[in-house]
Amino acid sequence: MYKNYIKRILDIIICILGLPIFVLLLIIFGLLIKLEDHGPIFYKAERIGKDGKLFKMYKFRSMKLNAPALLNPDGSTYNSKDDPRVTKIGKFIRETSIDETPQIINVLKGDMSIIGPRASLASALSTYKNDEIDKMKVRPGITGYTQAYYRNKLSNREKRLKDAWYANNVSVWLDMKIFFKTIVTVFKREGIYNNTQVYKQELK
């Protein structure tokens, strides 16, 4: 009952209540993003959703215009504290997870949930193994089990396995624990970066 119906109803209610806060963040950080490099406020990227369906996920843009996409050897997104692709305001909104707040739009559209597995890159769809595929049983989330407890500390393989476990064990109590743990993790700014050095090849 909770997984199939109540969870979705709660998502809609919470997002509607959170709309005024999102609008305020949009005004503040939208203006700051525009002032820094005059580029678009939002970053839209194709992601894998429930049942493997693709959708456009929204974020506040944190990278410079036309920044190259970099991946780690395991297919995870490269990120570093000193990543030269990231703007000044982008670094702040990443570390505080403010860049994720536009995904409230995706939740209202039905693409995502407030809590669920991390949405993978569309290009990763063909790389999933049999024991990872259950991750797609549920909608991806703005936050989730791996983001709350590990953030970027795990390999791509480990994240997928834990997300698959979550999808098979969704409950109101687990979601509550993830929600409150997310607040602590964001406040402490734990596990933000999975790379300790700048990608040298891009600096040549």
| 84 compared with 132, residue with greater pLDDT | 132
Strand partners, 77: 71
Question: Count of CB atoms within 10 A of residue 166's CB?
Answer: 24
Q: Which of 103, 16, 125, 99 shows the shortest CA–CA distance to 57? A: 103
**pLDDT for res 77:** 76
Average pLDDT over all residues of the chain = 90
106 SS3 class? helix
1 SS3 class? coil
Predicted TM-score (pTM) above 0.95: no
**pLDDT for res 195:** 60
**pLDDT for res 194:** 62
Largest CA distance in the chain: 55
**pLDDT for res 200:** 45
Q: Give the separation between CA 186 and CA 176, rounded to whole angstroms.
A: 16
Structural contact between residues 40 and 174, judged by C-beta atoms closer than 8 angstroms: no
Residue 76 clears pLDDT 80, i.e. is over it:
no
| 41 compared with 200, residue with greater pLDDT | 41
Residue 101 clears pLDDT 90, i.e. is over it:
yes
Q: Give the separation between CA 15 and CA 97, rounded to whole angstroms.
A: 16
The residue type at 183: I
Summarize pLDDT for 43-74 with one digit per residue, the tens.
999 999 999 999 999 999 999 988 887 877 77
Question: What H or E segment, with its residue span, contains residue 37?
Answer: helix 7-37
Reported as a pLDDT band with limits 50, 70 and 90, residue 142 is: very high
What ranges do the domains of the chain cover?
A: 2-198
Strand partners, 47: 55, 121
Summarize pLDDT for 171-202 with one digit per residue, the tens.
999 999 999 999 998 888 766 666 655 444 44
